[in-house]
Amino acid sequence: MHPLMNNTKWDELRRAMYGLDRLAPRWRTSNVESGYMSEWDREWFYHFRDRGYKSIQWVEIAVDTDEQRNAILRELVRIHVPGERTESGYRIVGYAEIGQAVDYIRE
Computed from CA positions of residues 105, 93, 26, 8, in that sequence, does the dihedral angle turn out positive or negative? negative
What is the structure's pLDDT at 51?
83
Asked if 94 and 52 touch (Cβ cutoff 8 Å), the reply is: no
pLDDT average, residue stretch 67-92: 98
Summarised one tens digit per residue, pLDDT across range 51-64 is 889 999 999 999 99
- One-letter amino acid at 104 equals Y
pTM: 0.93
Cα-flanking dihedrals φ and ψ of residue 60, to 5°?
Answer: -95, 135
The closest alpha carbon to 38, from 59, 11, 17, belongs to 59
- One-letter amino acid at 14 equals R
- CA distances, 39 to each of 27, 30, 53, 84, 99 (Å): 8, 10, 16, 20, 29
